[in-house]
Amino acid sequence: MTTDWVLSEPPTELTGLTAYDLRCEHRVDPLGIGTARPRLSWRLASPTRGDRQAAFRVRVLRDGVQVWDSGWRDEPSTSVDHGGAPLTSQTDYTWQVEVRDAAGRVSGAEASFATGIFHDDEWEAHWIEHDYETDPYFEPPVDRAEPRTVRQATIAPPRYYRRSFELTQPVTRARLYATAHGLYQFSANGQRVGNDELTPGWTDYRERVAYQTYDVTDVLREGENVIGAVLGEGWWSGYVGWDTRSHAHHYGKKPQLLAQLVVDHPDGSRTVVATDGRWVERVGPIRFADLLMGESYDARHELGDWSSPGYDAGEWAPAGDVGGDVSTLIAMTTEPVRVTSELPAVAVTALAPGRFIVDLGQNLAGRVRLRVRGAQAGDRIRLRHGEMLQADGELYTANLRTADATDYFVSAGAADEFFEPVFTVHGFRYVEVDGYPGELTVEDVAGRVLHSDTPVAGRFECSDPGVNQLLSNIRWGQRGNFVSVPTDCPQRDERLGWTADAQIFLPTAAYQADVLTFFENWFADLAVAQTDEGAIPDVIPHVITGRHGTPAWADAATIVPWTLYRIYGDERVLRTAWPVMRRWVDYVHRANPDLIWRNRTSGHYGDWLQVGVKTDRDVLATAYFARSVEFTAAAARVLGLTDDAAKYGALHDEIAAAFVAEFVDAEGKIRGDTQTGYLLALAFGLLPEHAEQAAVKHLVADLERRERSLTTGFAGVALLCPILTKYGYADLAYDLLHDDRYPSWGYSIKHGATTIWERWDGWTEENGFGPVAMNSFNHYSLGSVGEWLYGDVAGISQSEQSIGFRDLVVKPRPGGRLTWAEASYDIPSGRVSTRWELSDGTLTLDVTIPPGADATIHIPTKDPDSTQESGRPLTESEGLTPLDSTPDTTLCRAAPGTYRFTTPA
């Protein structure tokens, strides 16, 4: 287990300005980076108020010899691109950063990285696969003896591959570069290599197949060595999505493995062991494995020490060598999926002899680890996974559609056996264990949580347990759905990278984890999938749907890169995305010369899963058109494309004008008169001032008419609380937050939700389970209110012009039932924290601003003049500059540092 997915402790015992959390290409000590000019960055902390980085210096070293020195740069920036000669392929580097404060004091820190394989001709590896022609030990795919297994005949059992080789010299360094068309897990000399799961992850394999790099120096030795891998189907050739006609084989018919082990010796020589026809392979205990369907493991077929020296592989068959086309290979650029937590079972209920329901207490994506005691050889245990239980206590699986989500374990009869599948992932809280010998106890089962191991970046907590549960549900929604790509859901036969879900949830996701490389990687697949005309498919990586260009979905093309740039401040995101952004808005414009987006709207899902209302589709589409054009213009400005900036800037204003002319009536009502209609217009800034005020009035009136109840679907929900708060209706936003009537977040929580439900009516008192055709209990879109919890309730956001949170806005909004709230968040330059508490008529606000940022702080108060900081008037407080306050807010500008404000509340 790597982490428990909690925010790391901030650096402590600081004596002065300190650089920490050094990253190369936004990752800590990465191996196998794919660029010769990596970006190097660091965070800053300091115990001293007002402390800033006056200058920095970065040096890159190879074998202790300097290859680049940035020289001292009098800049506050906490990142720099390697500026020396391009780095060399397959090489280890260290790098150092020194930071100097205003007083001239210097401190430093060091980190490392290694480059990957830069040139195609460095690959000696060939793709290898099971050769059905020559294999004398061919075993047909197992019949899993279940009614729904007919279509599974296309999934062949995973196979084990190995290669034994001699090393005649000691090892100074050994790196394994590995990937698959399929899913793989490597071992070397009897030990598992790394702790990544579901590698190489899901990308658009037609164009991009990521290889991973592992350090195996300590595992290899002089003499005989063995490396080997087990290879499954995964996204490459297993089931993906719902379409049982095209079912499996989206990218290929059978899995293939590719790997290259590069061993350096003391005399400077190198041994390369690469996949080719000298590898041998066979089937083993994993008899079946599929991401959607599940895994079957027969312990009677275990292969013993198959990846260790001295093993007799005489019966293994030669692997088929299918050549060395490496044109699609790319270095892995983001964190892989890992097991990030292990959850103990909280309850086991016996339903019948040998049949139990296990409750893990939490809906999650992952699998279980099962201990089997006292089984006879050949005993078969079945594990079915589900998110909910039926009223009769049986597992509810109807909402999984055709995903079997079923694992099997067949015992070899040993006293104590353990089973955990390798090449499958389920979305579940409950497991039905059937055929278990004797009594199953909570100690026998644990939930293993799997997701992309994006570094945790934030935490939020407050005085209200319901709100904390909501935040927990949002976090678990993120964990359950950031599995290599941002998916809609982890349980049913879908699990696709729906573009609207991703863009809507991104701002919330980024408060909780560093998702920059995760989304950059996904966006690369979006770019690949853009049609010649410029449209973007509904799901990325692009499989299954023929739909493309859907309003709010395809707009991920502009919203994702712009949002990433705003949050992380890395201009490269925009440089890469620019052609995609431009081509996308041009596509919509060409089809809609009158600027109302009616044509080429593809599937047009409108405000997906709204309740009881119909937001006008043209309103939604045109608002999104304006939004996309606005971000395209903004990107052009950043990139210095003056003509494009002017062109798209003007186009944006014209769309906004067309929007008003077409949809806003004399009373300021927006066609359809729905919450989402107003929210889109307000959030996207489409209205002139008089219409803006009217829209706020109509929005509030709609909510009041409905007794303060929401109607928003995916598109509107993220905007609801932020917009109400922005326009002075934080009380309404809090009412929605605390609401537990249907439809609300609280309603699901009242009924036991531990994740965000796909639909407001996933389960209701009146109707029980919602429509079975589409009813996921782990879908993050409606959880996009998380942005408001961090940004407004805890009050951590940035000004409209700010990039990378350099110009922070600290504007907490005490309200609702909350008596305190706190949050911490890692911005690019360091960690921001806020905490407010109301007690005895006093508001106490603690704020920490890291070096590298400044903040405008808004302190809500009954008496702006009596606000104090650490017991002093603000004017006497170091690091603070009072600004003009309003009757209910003390305003000040703060330099980096830690502050405690008190004021009458």
**Among the residue ranges 3-11, 87-95, 494-502, 642-650, the one whose residues contact ligand BGC (CB under 6 A):** 494-502
- Rounded-to-integer distance, Cα 331 and Cα 90, Å: 11
Contact 142, 296 (CB under 8 A): yes
Q: Is 501 in the site for ligand BGC (CB under 6 A)?
A: yes
3-state secondary structure 608-626: CCCCCCCCCHHHHHHHHHH
Q: Is 790 in the site for ligand BGC (CB under 6 A)?
A: no
CB of 494 to ligand BGC, least distance (A): 6
CA–CA distances in Å: residue 258 to residues 138, 225, 233, 275: 22, 18, 14, 6
CB of 401 to ligand BGC, least distance (A): 10
Which SS3 state, helix, strand or coil, does residue 264 take? strand
Q: Which is nearer to ligand BGC, 774 or 838 (by Cβ)?
A: 774
Q: Is 298 in the site for ligand BGC (CB under 6 A)?
A: no
For CA atoms 447, 450, 456, 459, give the dihedral sign: negative
Q: Is 607 in the site for ligand BGC (CB under 6 A)?
A: no
- Rounded-to-integer distance, Cα 359 and Cα 816, Å: 33
Residues 114-143 touching ligand BGC, rule: CB under 6 A, are none
Q: Is 498 in the site for ligand BGC (CB under 6 A)?
A: yes
Q: Is 489 in the site for ligand BGC (CB under 6 A)?
A: yes
- Per-residue contact track with ligand BGC, 758 to 787, x per CB under 6 A? ----------------x----x--------
Q: Which is nearer to ligand BGC, 445 or 540 (by Cβ)?
A: 540
CA–CA distances in Å: residue 218 to residues 175, 222, 634: 10, 11, 49
The catalytic residue positions are: 494, 758
End-to-end Cα spacing for the chain: 45
**Among the residue ranges 203-211, 498-506, 568-576, 627-635, the one whose residues contact ligand BGC (CB under 6 A):** 498-506
For CA atoms 872, 875, 878, 882, give the dihedral sign: positive
Per the DSSP assignment, residues forming a β-bridge with 95 are 60, 111
- Rounded-to-integer distance, Cα 845 and Cα 837, Å: 7
Q: Is 605 in the site for ligand BGC (CB under 6 A)?
A: yes
Contact 361, 224 (CB under 8 A): no
Q: Is 718 in the site for ligand BGC (CB under 6 A)?
A: no
Q: Which is nearer to ligand BGC, 330 or 544 (by Cβ)?
A: 544
Q: Is 556 in the site for ligand BGC (CB under 6 A)?
A: no
Total binding residues toward ligand BGC, as defined by CB under 6 A: 10
CB of 73 to ligand BGC, least distance (A): 45
Q: Which is nearer to ligand BGC, 488 or 630 (by Cβ)?
A: 488
CB of 63 to ligand BGC, least distance (A): 50
Q: Which amino acid is at 327?
A: S
- Rounded-to-integer distance, Cα 800 and Cα 59, Å: 34
Q: Is 500 in the site for ligand BGC (CB under 6 A)?
A: yes
CB of 33 to ligand BGC, least distance (A): 33
Q: Which is nearer to ligand BGC, 488 or 618 (by Cβ)?
A: 488
How many other β-carbons are positioned within 10 Å of the β-carbon of residue 21? Answer: 21
Taking CB under 6 A as the criterion, the residue among 51, 129, 264, 494 binding ligand BGC is 494
Q: Which amino acid is at 189?
A: N
Residue 49, judged by CB atoms within 10 A of its CB (0-12, 13-18, 19+), counts as: middle
Contacts of 258 (CB under 8 A, 6+ apart): 125, 126, 127, 128, 178, 179, 180, 181, 211, 275, 326, 329
Taking CB under 6 A as the criterion, the residue among 177, 202, 251, 608 binding ligand BGC is 608
Contact 119, 79 (CB under 8 A): no
Q: What pairing do the DSSP bridges indicate for beta strands 209-215 and 329-331?
A: parallel
Contact 615, 674 (CB under 8 A): yes
Q: Is 570 in the site for ligand BGC (CB under 6 A)?
A: no
CB of 757 to ligand BGC, least distance (A): 12
Q: Which is nearer to ligand BGC, 779 or 806 (by Cβ)?
A: 779
- Per-residue contact track with ligand BGC, 721 to 760, x per CB under 6 A? ----------------------------------------
CB of 501 to ligand BGC, least distance (A): 5
CB of 406 to ligand BGC, least distance (A): 22
- Rounded-to-integer distance, Cα 251 and Cα 389, Å: 36
Q: Which is nearer to ligand BGC, 214 or 498 (by Cβ)?
A: 498
Which SS3 state, helix, strand or coil, does residue 200 take? coil
CB of 489 to ligand BGC, least distance (A): 6
**Among the residue ranges 151-159, 496-504, 588-596, 849-857, the one whose residues contact ligand BGC (CB under 6 A):** 496-504
Taking CB under 6 A as the criterion, the residue among 196, 488, 618, 702 binding ligand BGC is 488
Q: Which is nearer to ligand BGC, 313 or 774 (by Cβ)?
A: 774
Residues that bind ligand BGC (CB under 6 A): 488-489, 494, 498, 500-501, 605, 608, 774, 779
